[in-house]
Amino acid sequence: MKDFSNLISAIEITNKTNAKIEALVAYFKTAPDKDKLWLIALFTGKRPSRPVKSTLMKEWCMEITQLPEWLFLESYSTVGDLGETLALLLPNPENQIEKPLHIWIEELIHLKNKTDLEKKEYVLHAWNGLNAQDRLIFNKLIGGSFRIGVSKKTLVNALSKLSGIDGNQMMHSIIGNWTPENITFEALLNGEHINYDNSKPYPFCLAYALEKELNDLGDEDEWQVEYKWDGIRGQIIKRKDEVFIWSRGEELVTQQFPEIVAAVSQFKDDFVIDGEILAIKDTAVLLFNDLQKRLNRKNVTKKLLEEVPVGLYIYDILELNGKDLRAHAMEDRRNELEQLFLQNSSKMLQLSEVIDFKNWNELDELRNKARAFNSEGLMLKKKSSDYHVGRKKGDWWKWKVDPLTIDVVMIYAQKGSGRRSSKYTDYTFAVKKEDKLVTVAKAYSGLTDKEITEISRWVNKNAIEKFGPVRTVKPELVFEIAFEGIALSNRHKSGVALRFPRMKRWRKDKTVKDIDTIESVKALI
């Protein structure tokens, strides 16, 4: 635990990727194998479920410290992170507990089914045997997240440097269906589990946002252009009569889409294909809000299947009958994909349309019309490109339609977390509804540090009420917010839901009289 805690501290104090890689390599060289496996699991989304509710931990801390709730909430508001708040408020430990990381995690896994009294006894004993930093790590193991800037790519680069194994193979090894209980560290690095695990996905090939002029891309004939869709990016794997569906977030979502599984099962060949799962009704692509009704469902009812039918638009093929095609040129992979569908057909699965265009000038008009049928814009893919791991500039570009925008007024402000915990960075916005204001979105990105500092000072002077870490403010600051899409929603008071809202600019030239109405917002649907 001490070594893991020191690693987290070393990573948190630097924003240099190479320094983080060096710290990870040093840890992997000395830590026990089970600790190494759990570190990889924690940083790749395979953490165990929360064994103790955060409300209980808060109650126990207030009981120990004798703090009133208002003072605890003020402390939480200032720190911005519950695990860190608890670690800082608790008194110095009376004992010293030394256990490796994997023992702590195994104990927490077993703690889940204990009574609240047994959980309290265990947690209080741990708090009394750990210093503030180790206590913070312990709290994070219970239910927090380690937001320290370690991406899967950084982790893979560290493991590759440690072992000498190719990064692509390493990425393939650490994602997918494994747990620290069913594999050794050496077996994981060497990918010994890949061959017998039919469900193993490949790392996704991703695109950068277009940052060039179209004419700078060269000859139009070198590019394949498709529509960009807003659904669930997925890899559909069929191997040895088994079908698996993986999301881009490396979650196994097979059970959520039984109709796709049934359609893929009818194909004769084995393959791994890359595509977009979309809500499709009467050949029309529905909004992402419709697709959300199908997500994270353990059981998909017949009624839901009928209300929100799904389909798959297929972009690429990565493997065919056991042969890895990722190193082949994209135009060759497209030919393989088309041949596969000549021999097999399904209404549920469709090849992504390749857009026929003569020159670059035609594409801008096509992109601008894309939102009319719920497309996000265009994808530009070099025909000679391989299916690489992650993002690689120059091969794949995404060219989205311009975002929608509205003018809103800020009515609530909340402090951020981590390095942003001392300033108000998270805001709630409203539009006019007759003679009142109705909340329409929350956002926390888009402003400069200087603007955030200025707004934080304003909030301190103009707060009307406070509810824990949230401050109600005078409705005076107007912002232009941008978003990718909009849909009707019964879950929101305003009756609408915005997709990916963020602040485009602070409109100091406008007042609350100039903001949008709920009617003008709904007119965008």
Residue 2's closest CA among 154, 131, 185, 146? 131
What domain range is 306 assigned to? 205-400
Q: How many Å apart are CA 482 and CA 499, to the nearest integer?
A: 9
Do 6 and 119 lie in one domain? The reply is: yes
Given a cut of 80, whether residue 377 has pLDDT beyond it is yes
Of 6-10, 242-246, 287-291, 331-335, the one with minimum mean pLDDT is 287-291
Contact 291, 246 (CB under 8 A): no
Contact 468, 76 (CB under 8 A): yes
Beta-bridge mates of residue 382 = 223
Structure tokens at 244: 């698996």
Judged by DSSP in three states, 179 sits in coil
Do 488 and 475 lie in one domain? The reply is: yes
Q: How many Å apart are CA 301 and CA 85, to the nearest integer?
A: 43
Do 355 and 437 lie in one domain? The reply is: no
The band of 193, judged by pLDDT with boundaries at 50, 70 and 90, is low
Judged by DSSP in three states, 329 sits in coil
Pick the last residue of a domain from 370, 400, 430. Answer: 400
- In a domain, residue 156? The reply is no
| Side chain identity, residue 258 | P
Residue 404's closest CA among 478, 483, 480? 483
- Report the number of distinct structural domains present in the chain: 3
Strand 232-239 and strand 502-506: pairing?
Answer: unpaired
Do 312 and 352 lie in one domain? The reply is: yes
Residue 477's closest CA among 495, 499, 503? 503
Q: How many Å apart are CA 362 and CA 360, to the nearest integer?
A: 5
pLDDT per position as a tens digit, 471-509: 999 999 999 999 988 888 877 788 888 888 999 999 999
Q: How many Å apart are CA 387 and CA 93, to the nearest integer?
A: 53
Instruction: Please tell me which residue in 36, 200, 228, 432 is annotated as part of the active site.
Output: 228
- In a domain, residue 171? The reply is no
Pick the last residue of a domain from 400, 418, 452. Answer: 400
Do 479 and 499 lie in one domain? The reply is: yes
Mean pLDDT of the chain, nearest integer: 89
302-333 as b/e: b if 16+ CB within 10 A: eeeeeebbbbbbbbbbbbbeeeebbebebeeb
Structure tokens at 89: 């408020």
Radius of gyration of the chain (CA): 26
Contact 405, 446 (CB under 8 A): no
Do 435 and 387 lie in one domain? The reply is: no
Place of tokens 């353990």: 298
Do 222 and 114 lie in one domain? The reply is: no
Mean pLDDT across 208-217 = 90
Do 214 and 99 lie in one domain? The reply is: no
- In a domain, residue 462? The reply is yes
Do 255 and 336 lie in one domain? The reply is: yes
- In a domain, residue 449? The reply is yes
| Side chain identity, residue 462 | N
pTM summary value: 0.62
The pLDDT > 90 percentage for the chain reads 59
Structure tokens at 380: 């530009």
The band of 168, judged by pLDDT with boundaries at 50, 70 and 90, is low
The band of 206, judged by pLDDT with boundaries at 50, 70 and 90, is very high
Place of tokens 């994270």: 296
- In a domain, residue 162? The reply is no
Strand 424-433 and strand 436-443: pairing?
Answer: antiparallel
Contacts with 267 (C-beta within 8 Å, 6 or more apart), sequence order: 238, 340, 344, 346
User: So what's the pLDDT on residue 91?
Assistant: 95
Q: What is the CATH number of the domain that holds 57?
A: 1.10.3260.10
* Cβ neighbours of 357 (radius 10 Å): 15
Q: How many Å apart are CA 43 and CA 191, to the nearest integer?
A: 18
Q: How many Å apart are CA 227 and CA 236, to the nearest integer?
A: 20
Residue 329's closest CA among 316, 348, 342? 316
Do 376 and 414 lie in one domain? The reply is: no
pLDDT per position as a tens digit, 292-316: 888 877 778 889 888 899 999 999 9
User: So what's the pLDDT on residue 196?
Assistant: 44
User: So what's the pLDDT on residue 249?
Assistant: 76
The band of 391, judged by pLDDT with boundaries at 50, 70 and 90, is confident
Q: How many Å apart are CA 267 and CA 400, to the nearest integer?
A: 33
Do 391 and 450 lie in one domain? The reply is: no
423-437 as b/e: b if 16+ CB within 10 A: bbbbbbbbbbbeeeb
Do 456 and 373 lie in one domain? The reply is: no
To the nearest 10°, report the CA torsion of 400, 404, 407, 412. -70
Active site includes 522? Answer: no
pLDDT per position as a tens digit, 394-428: 899 999 988 889 999 999 998 876 566 678 999 99
User: So what's the pLDDT on residue 419?
Assistant: 62
Helices marked H in 216-287 — which ranges? 258-265
- In a domain, residue 214? The reply is yes
- In a domain, residue 386? The reply is yes
- In a domain, residue 455? The reply is yes
Pick the last residue of a domain from 377, 400, 423. Answer: 400
Angle between helix axes 132-142 and 116-127 (nearest 10 degrees) is 150
Q: What is the CATH number of the domain that holds 268?
A: 3.30.470.30
Beta-bridge mates of residue 425 = none
What element of type H or E holds 5?
helix 2-12
227 versus 358: the higher-pLDDT residue is 227
